[in-house]
Amino acid sequence: MSTILIIFCVLAAITLSTAFLTIFSKNPIHSAIYLVICFFSIAGHYLLLNSQFLAIVHIIVYSGAIMILFLFTIMLMNLNEEREVHRPRITRLGAIVSFCLICLVLIAIFINSKPIVGEYVTTGEDYQSIKVLGKILLNEYMVPFEFASILLLVAMIGTVLLSKKEKLQK
Amino acid sequence: MNTLIAIIGLGVLCLLFEIFNLRKAIVPIIIIGLLGVLGLTISEFNSTESYYNNMIVVSKFSSTFSSLFIVLTIFLVALGHNFYENHQSKISDFIAIKVFLLAGAVAMVSFGNLAMFFLGIEVLSISLYILAASNRMNLKSNEAGMKYFLMGSFASGIILFGICLIYGAMGSFDVTEISELSQSAELPIWFPIGIVLVTIGMLFKVAAVPFHFWAPDVYEGSPALTTALMSTLAKVVATATLYKLLSVMNADISESFKIIVVVISMASMTVGNIMALRQTNVKRMLAFSGISHAGFMLMTLLSLSTSAGSLLYYASAYSLSGIAAFSVILYVCKNRDNEDIVNFHGLGKTNPLLAAILTASLLSMAGIPIFAGFFAKLVLFNQTIQAGYLALVIVAVVNSIISVGYYFKLILAMYTKEPNEERKGTPVIIYAVAVIAIVLNIALGLFPSLVLDLLS
Amino acid sequence: MNNILNHIGIENYIFLSVILFCIGVFGVLYRRNAIIVFMSIEIMLNAVNLLFVAFSTYHQDAQGQVFVFFSMAVAAAEVAVGLAILVSIFRNLGSITIDNLKNLKG
Amino acid sequence: MEMNTNIALVLVLAPFLGFLINVFFGKSLGKWLSGIIGTFSVVVSFIATAYFFSGISAQPEGIHISLFDWIQISNFNVDFGFQLDQLSILWLLFVTGIGSLIHLYSISYMHDDENMHQFFAYLNLFIFFMITLVIGSNLLVMFIGWEGVGLCSYLLIGFWHKNQEYNDAAKKAFIMNRIGDLGLLVGIFILGNLFSTVDFTTLKTAITTAPDYNDFWVAVAALALFIGACGKSAQIPLYTWLPDAMAGPTPVSALIHAATMVTAGIFMITRLNFLFDLTPSVQSIIAIVGAVTALVAATIGLVQNDIKKVLAYSTVSQLGLMFLALGLGAYEVAVFHVITHAFFKACLFLGSGSVIHALHGEQDMRNMGGLKKAMPITFVTMLVASLAISGVPLFSGFFSKDEVLLVAFHHNIPLWIVASIASIMTAFYMFRLMFLTFFQEFRGTSAQKHHLHESPSLITIPLIVLAILATIGGLISLPGNSWLNGYLTPVLPKLANAEHHLGTTEYILMAIAVIGGLVGIGIAYAKYIKQNTVPTEDAEITGFSKVLYNKYYVDEFYEAIFVKPINVLSRFFRDTIETALSALVFGFGKVTNEISYQGKKIQNGSIGLYLFVFVLGLCAIVSYLFLAQ
Amino acid sequence: MNVSLILIILLVGAFATYLAGDKLASKMALFFGLAAAGASIVLLNHYNLGENISFINQWITQPNISFALKADGLSMAMLLLTTALTPIIIFSSFGNQYKKSKSFYALILFMSFAMAGTFLASDGLLYYIFWELSLIPIYFIALIWGNGDTEERKKAVVKFFIYTLAGSLFMLVAFVYMYQQAGSLLLEDLYKLNLSATEQLWIFLAFFLAYAIKIPLIPFHTWQANVYQKAPTVGTMLLSGIMLKMGLYSVIRWQLPLAPLAAKEYMYIFIGLGIAGVIYGSIVALRQKDLKKLLAYSSLAHVGLIAAGTYTLTLDGLRGAVLQMIAHGFVVVGLFYVAEIIFRRYETRAIAEMGGIRPQSPKFTSMFLILVLASVALPSTFNFVGEFTVLYSLSQINIWFAVLGGTTIILGAYYMLKMFQHAMLGETNSKIFADVTFNEGLTLVLIIGVLFFFGMYPKPITDLITPSLEEILTQINRIN
């Protein structure tokens, strides 16, 4: 059991437990904070996989942007206390059943499948430095990259559309 | 590719118009622009090319479907002129979103790389979430948006997971490469799982049973024009994409997968039709009808190599009649808070032309001859029998019979009930859209070869 | 340079992602609070992202990581739109419990 | 032949023209003119018939006229053609002859009726159809006439259409006729199938030359045809319509229900004698049916009080005798009796009509009596006719009836006994009728008595003519020297080598018959003149005579066996089966609707549920694809 | 000059009528109806001269569908029936005022167009399209201009529509199946198919469902009486006069030659079904209170007999069936018109509320009686020719079929005369019944004239249809 594996296991444990805690926390603020921790642990995974740039982007986008958005919304709506209505038992049961089911099914399939034999390929080439990523992103993936801007544009317009008060015109 | 660029350009133009305070010109200019794009697309019809490292692949399939999408968008934009007349300050946003949505749709049918596929579907979905929720003061619209958003993101997650597994198996997002690699033996099981997950995600988008639950609620809650868009453009896009996805990745559809398709197709038709029987809200009814039509369109997946033409035909027939029907619904339910069937009482007396158009479009959906819907079903049945699924065809036939029940409920309401109030104001543009759509539909019915032969 | 997967094994990453994904699914099903549901969806997306990176390493190929950028963009866009919808619901309804959204049915 | 065709067309179409004129212009023509046109058109036919009659001896094979192709069947074509041979000309003679007389009679008789032009129209139409029936060259053309006369009978029985009982009687007549018609059609089908023709001449050739016809099917065909004859000629079991048919005006009863239409069955069987000759079993059925009908009808006739009903049953009974003769292969005898019967029965009906006319519609003999002084001509003519029907020697009936009995005796003694009893009864009830009507004191109201008068000459002239014919009609076929037999030989080839001798047996039989007739008259005399009996009121009739008076309850029996069940069935079908079938079809709709209704509950608006189903579906698909394999 | 002319006239007529406006609509419709009738007579003349008046053109390449209109004797006969009855039916409506009459008359012509197309089409799909197309106008005619309670009417009409559609969709599946085998749906290509007995049976049954519902045969008839009752009389005439014949015609043209093995194998069953319909229909008709319903059941009985005739697979059966189809078409139109005439005066269709009409209206009574008699197949009327031929063909199969089928002449007389008696005879009705107007009289006289003319001289029609029927018979008897 190598150090790396131990690190992986620790990180995985943190990821999973914080993910669970996110869901089980009654207070949305707590959920958010657990989620941030979860994201950080995932960033740890990225680092472990030696993709530093991605890790940093991940932290910036998720923890920095998305989670702030969440927290902002929670604050805005004053949701920092548990207001959730009592969940019917059937809902919880259904959730748990489907969770178990989907977990079991997916894991069973992957266990059933024949294991990957042999060494993993190591080309030794640089494939995940910022430089390479940038090249790929702006050469091969130029079109999707631009298209992602359309996506963000749409989201932007949409958010404005949904939030902006209408000037009533006669 | 040019199509895509042109459409995006139009979208940006639309936003610019708002800046320059040219609101009034938006709708006409966009329509003209889209017509231009349509011409462009058609002119490129025969060129099969791939652009930018195979990100976009223009083929007959993509250009025909793109043309269909453009046509539908033209109709929808035109209807928007009337629909958004009380929301002038937002009209540019609405139109822009629709244009971008069209861009997403075009990307979805012409992708050469799963990244484009994913982004395309997300552009489409996010636009739809926004449009569904766009009536922000209306709780129903909010609810619809929320439901659609939650379930849609959920489905997106599953699609993403599927793409990830495909990537894991293939080490590439390029469909050509994937297709070549899939020929070789010794694939990790991730690949088929990935395909299945992506398929399931797409089944959600086309609202096939059992992933259909969102559709009726969302259709009902959304503003009518959005419903029109969802039930025509979005559904057609999703189906075409699913078809393209499965055919282009050469996913070597196994027998058991086909059985799944058969079961889902049967279930969609049956559930859609049966549930539609007792609906009183017209949009909701059409949502269920759309579910059943999704079931029909899924039949094309059983003979992937040959059925592109029939899918195109079915999609055109269905969406054109949908546009016609919705333009009547827009007219009837304008300034009303619901689309209950009561509103349609006596339409045959107060506005015979629109009643006739709605009747014709419903008949087309029911598959009565001379309307395109009939031939659509016919070629579909033909292909499915050829593929050896007679039982499916019989279920489909039985479903066609059931479907007549609720289509006729609406027709009966129009012709046998007394009108409950006078309607005034007959917007020309609604007439124009409805008439053109239904005429196109009938023309397709009279000359099915025009479309059927495009993709063969 | 050694492939890190030689120490961990791609299966472990798959299992981790799958479980994380399923937790996300569970969260969506389990919670009625829309915000938490959003968060669960983010968890799902992150699970996939993680797997992308793992596969990227597995194939020694950058495309997977590039895709993660897009995925993030999508996530961001979705959250933005989702929260906008949520806000308008909150304005109208004063609550973000999705069980209250049952007007459309039948 | 061109000449013949034209005259034949005149023969057929003259009454039709009369019909058309009376239908379209009758009302404006006025009663007299319409009556005269009606009569004249029949007279024209009679003259045309006479023309053919005069020429027939030159053409023993008869005149065949084919007008055009009518119906095409895969194995044969049906011509629309006429056949004028000895038999049809004979029939035409008395049809048009008696027809003319009755038309004449009707001018006066129906003069008070507002719809007189209609009456003449119908009568003319009847004559037209009767002529068609008689001269059709094949079974199908005959069938036109066959059904056509049925139609006219329907129209004329229900002539007073405001009375629904009359309409019921008309309907009954038509439907019972139709039962027979179905038999006739079936017979035609079988003949067509067997011999590929329905033309009389070719059929005859085919049957007589076919070496290997199928015995069984020929017999079935003959039986089916006989059923047809039963319907038209009122034989058991299809006779009950005829007494009811007396609802029609009396001239109608005389023309249609005594002299002409009801003899169509006899005509048809005689026409197809070559067929029936081949099927002895059917012949014996015919004979038995005829004899039984003669007896049964006679017994009923014994106690009837309605003057026309008595005559009606008498007609049935006489027809029975004719069928007896037919069944015994003595077609010429049957024909002979048809002719004499036509004379005396028409006379009797017209006479009774004269009486009814005089009494303003009274038909119950219990309310008559003593009319002989007031109506001498009517009385005398009816008396002559009664003597004729009773078989009193030298009157026409004597010869014809005697021949029937003679034939019966030669073939089958029991049948002879039955027939003889029927004849005795005939004599009895006929004279019962005469005595009750004309003798003793008048029993009607004083108002009626006051108005008693002899009928006008338009009524009496036909009576007199018919009485004369009833007297001398026997001359056409005197025993031992029969003109009729000679005349009919081309049609009935058997007659050529039949021996005509009058032996002791024959004379004895004649004597028995005469004595029988006289006995019948004597009993009637004893009962109604000597004892001065008047039949009791309906309610007081008891015992067997009640059964007789109620006609053996046959109508009630039919009602219970056929009409009621069909109506019950109809109601059952209408109320139960139709509803059930309808419900079955609606059921599909109801069930799907119900499923839809239940399904709506699943769509409960909860995102949790939707996603739950989503996940379940996903799991199901994935596990089916990847775990179940 | 070819048969598409008729279709064009009728279709153009439908549009022209609609455009002509409410006032002119009826006259415009009559004009085009007469034009179509005239044109079909001209075409008949051409046809009789041996000219080819068929029309065929490729329509859809994938699937391979042609716009093929074939005019043989059978089609011409049915076409003539359609084009002759259409103006009569239109003319018969002249006494009534219809709201939105332009739509009404346009729909009539459109329906006539579709039915004419059905009779002419010789490509399976084209035929199917016309077949379905004819359903839509009658649906609206019955729905919008029908009478009686709206809810009841809706129920009946929708049931009718869905029911008939349900049947015909299976026919479509059968066509699609055959298309797989033949690669074309042209009649002659389908004739060349070598289908196994099992395939033929299924195809036969699929067709049967469509036709049994349309004709209708028991037990698929439940839509009939209600729709006849609820539809406006014009609609009823179209339905019973022409549309029923579509089903019967299709049996001859499509069902039998395409699945002869099954037809032969199960002949007795289908003949039996037809004859059961004769008896059942007649018995149910006995106790109907509504005049139109009674006529509906009488129609059921008659078409049962016709259907039995077609399933005998003999020349006589087919020929008799066609003759009887035409005859029944005319007589039933006449009878429904009579019901309408009574309705115009008494506003009722209940037989019990009539009676005593005869003394007031001798002309009307005579014509009614003639129609009644024609409907019970009195010899010298056209119906007799047809019925006789059909019954004869039944006797060729089994004499008992003829006997049982022949009960129609007894039961038919029973219920028709009973109806006539209670509707027309009896004490003079207190309500005034004006005798027929000129228009009404003319219509009835035309119908009666046709019935008598062809009753006495059916040869033109027989000659017209016989060659094509013989050809169909050779197809039926081809050895697979």
pLDDT of residue A116: 67
User: Where do the structural domains in chain E lie, given as residue ranges?
Assistant: 266-480
Residue C102 phi/psi, 5° resolution?
-130, 25
Cross-chain Cβ contact B147/C101 below 8 Å? yes
Whether residue B370 is contained in a domain is answered as: yes
What is the rounded CA–CA span in Å between residue E333 and residue E296? 11
Could you read off the pLDDT of D546-573 as tens digits, one per residue? 777 777 888 888 888 888 888 898 899 8
- Which residue type, as a one-letter code, is found at position B23? R
* Gyration radius from chain E CA atoms: 21
Could you read off the pLDDT of B434-446 as tens digits, one per residue? 999 999 999 998 8
Candidates B87, B97, B116; nearest CB to A147: B116
What is the rounded CA–CA span in Å between residue B231 and residue B291? 9
Bridge partner list, D72: D77
Whether residue B325 is contained in a domain is answered as: yes
Cross-chain Cβ contact D607/C98 below 8 Å? yes
Q: Which residues in chain E touch residue D220, judged by CB atoms under 8 angstroms apart?
A: 399
A102/B contact by beta carbon, under 8 A: no
Alpha carbon separation from D375 to B135, B444, D255, D456, E75 (Å, rounded): 107, 92, 22, 11, 69
User: Average pLDDT of D258-286?
Assistant: 88
In chain A, % helix, strand, coil (3-state, to 5) comes to 75, 0, 25
Q: Which of B228-237, B243-252, B354-363 has the lowest mean pLDDT?
A: B243-252
Q: Which residues in chain C touch residue A76, judged by CB atoms under 8 angstroms apart?
A: 87
Do D130 and D488 form a contact (C-beta atoms < 8 A)? no
Cross-chain Cβ contact C37/B160 below 8 Å? no
Bridge partner list, D478: D481
Could you read off the pLDDT of B180-200 as tens digits, one per residue? 888 876 778 888 889 999 999
Q: Tokens at residue D432, please? A: 């019962």
Distance (Å) from the alpha carbon of B405 to chain D's nearest alpha carbon: 8
Bridge partner list, E69: E55, E121
Residues of C (25-64) whose Cβ lies below 8 Å from B: 25, 28, 34, 37, 41, 44-45, 47-48, 51-52, 55, 58-59, 61, 63-64
User: Average pLDDT of D581-604?
Assistant: 88
Task: List, in order, residues 6 or more apart from A72 with CB less than 8 Å away.
Answer: none
Bridge partner list, B50: B57
DSSP B424: -
Do D379 and D371 form a contact (C-beta atoms < 8 A)? yes
Residue C97 has pLDDT above 50, yes or no: yes
Mutate to test the interface with D, among A87, A101, A103, A114 (most CBs of D within 10 A): A101
Cα–Cα–Cα angle for B151, B154, B159, nearest 5°?
Answer: 125
Candidates B363, B393, B405; nearest CB to E136: B363
Distance (Å) from the alpha carbon of C9 to chain B's nearest alpha carbon: 13
Closest alpha carbon to A45 in C49, C6, C73: C49
What is the rounded CA–CA span in Å between residue D388 and residue D368? 23
DSSP C33: B
What is the rounded CA–CA span in Å between residue B390 and residue B403? 20
A89/D contact by beta carbon, under 8 A: no
* Measured torsion, CA atoms of residues C85, C88, C89, C94, in degrees rounded to the nearest 10: 150
Do D143 and D47 form a contact (C-beta atoms < 8 A)? no
Closest alpha carbon to D483 in D53, D82, D51, D130: D53
User: Average pLDDT of A141-164?
Assistant: 91
Query: What is the separation, in whole angstroms, between the first and last Cα of chain E?
Result: 37
What is the rounded CA–CA span in Å between residue A21 and residue D444? 120
Mutate to test the interface with B, among D590, D602, D614, D623 (most CBs of B within 10 A): D614
- Which residue type, as a one-letter code, is found at position B400? S
* Measured torsion, CA atoms of residues D184, D190, D191, D196, in degrees rounded to the nearest 10: 130
A59/C contact by beta carbon, under 8 A: no
Whether residue B427 is contained in a domain is answered as: yes
Residues of B (105-124) whose Cβ lies below 8 Å from C: 114-115, 118-119, 122
Do B438 and B370 form a contact (C-beta atoms < 8 A)? no
pLDDT of residue D3: 81
B292 lies in which domain range? 265-456
Closest alpha carbon to D239 in D530, D552, D500, D524: D552
Nearest CA in chain D to B211: D614
Residue C30 has pLDDT above 90, yes or no: no
User: Average pLDDT of D233-252?
Assistant: 86
Task: List, in order, residues 6 or more apart from A117 with CB less than 8 Å away.
Answer: none
Closest alpha carbon to D479 in D604, D347, D333, D618: D333
A-C C-beta contacts closer than 8 Å: 230
Alpha carbon separation from B156 to B120, B121, D587, E300 (Å, rounded): 12, 8, 43, 60
User: Average pLDDT of B304-319?
Assistant: 91
| Average pLDDT of the residues of chain D | 86
Candidates C29, C103, C106; nearest CB to D612: C29
Alpha carbon separation from D547 to D107, D300, D422, D554 (Å, rounded): 39, 9, 18, 10
Cross-chain Cβ contact E177/B385 below 8 Å? yes
Q: Give, for D94, the enclosing helix (H) or strand (E).
A: helix D86-109
Residue D500 has pLDDT above 70, yes or no: no
User: Average pLDDT of D414-438?
Assistant: 86
Mutate to test the interface with D, among E218, E409, E461 (most CBs of D within 10 A): E409
Determine the 3-state secondary structure of A123 from DSSP: coil
Residue C62 has pLDDT above 70, yes or no: yes
Place of tokens 């009789």: E48
Give the Cβ contact number of residue B137 at 10 Å.
10
What would you measure as the largest C-alpha separation in chain B, in angstroms?
A: 70
Distance (Å) from the alpha carbon of C23 to chain B's nearest alpha carbon: 13
Q: Which of B97-101, B185-189, B380-384, E323-327 has the lowest mean pLDDT?
A: B185-189
Confidence of residue A170 (pLDDT cuts 50, 70, 90): very low
B52/C contact by beta carbon, under 8 A: no
Closest alpha carbon to E109 in E76, E75, E82: E82
Residue A84 has pLDDT above 60, yes or no: no
Q: Say what percent of chain D tops pLDDT 90.
A: 6
A144/C contact by beta carbon, under 8 A: yes
Place of tokens 């069936």: E321
What is the rounded CA–CA span in Å between residue E45 and residue E33? 18
- Which residue type, as a one-letter code, is found at position D508? I
Residue A44 has pLDDT above 60, yes or no: yes
Cross-chain Cβ contact B309/E162 below 8 Å? no
Bridge partner list, D306: D364
Candidates D615, D626, D627; nearest CB to A98: D615
User: Average pLDDT of B95-113?
Assistant: 93
Cross-chain Cβ contact A150/B123 below 8 Å? yes
User: Average pLDDT of C70-96?
Assistant: 89
What is the rounded CA–CA span in Å between residue A1 and residue B363? 69
Domains in chain C, start-ordered, CATH in brackets? 8-99 (1.10.287.3510)
Burial class of B225 by CB neighbour count within 10 A (0 to 12, 13 to 18, 19+): buried
Alpha helices in E121-259 (DSSP H): 124-133, 135-145, 150-182, 187-191, 197-214, 222-230, 233-237, 244-250, 256-258
Give the Cβ contact number of residue B371 at 10 Å.
27
Nearest CA in chain C to B222: C104
Residue B442 phi/psi, 5° resolution?
-65, -40
Cα–Cα–Cα angle for B36, B41, B45, nearest 5°?
Answer: 145
Q: Which residues of chain E have pLDDT under 70?
A: 479-480
Q: Which residues in chain D touch residue B147, judged by CB atoms under 8 angstroms apart?
A: 607, 610
Task: List, in order, residues 6 or more apart from D159 with CB less than 8 Å away.
Answer: D115, D118, D119, D122, D166, D248, D249, D252
DSSP D478: E
pLDDT of residue A86: 64
Do D512 and D420 form a contact (C-beta atoms < 8 A)? yes
Q: Which residues in chain C touch residue B223, judged by CB atoms under 8 angstroms apart?
A: none
What ipTM is given for this predicted complex? 0.91
Residue B450 has pLDDT above 90, yes or no: no
Residue A93 has pLDDT above 90, yes or no: no
Give the Cβ contact number of residue D484 at 10 Å.
20
Residue E144 phi/psi, 5° resolution?
-85, -40
Place of tokens 């089928």: E405
Q: Which residues in chain C touch residue B218, judged by CB atoms under 8 angstroms apart?
A: 104
pLDDT of residue A169: 47
Do E412 and E306 form a contact (C-beta atoms < 8 A)? no
CA E232 to chain centre: 17
pLDDT of residue B455: 82
* Measured torsion, CA atoms of residues D53, D56, D61, D65, in degrees rounded to the nearest 10: -60
Candidates A94, A95, A105; nearest CB to D623: A105
Q: Which residues in chain C touch residue B221, judged by CB atoms under 8 angstroms apart?
A: 103-104
Whether residue B295 is contained in a domain is answered as: yes
Mutate to test the interface with A, among C26, C93, C98, C101 (most CBs of A within 10 A): C26
Query: Neighbours of A (≥3 Cβ pairs closer than 8 A)?
Result: B, C, D
- Domain A1-81 fold is Four Helix Bundle (Hemerythrin (Met), subunit A) (1.20.120)
Give the Cβ contact number of residue A166 at 10 Å.
13
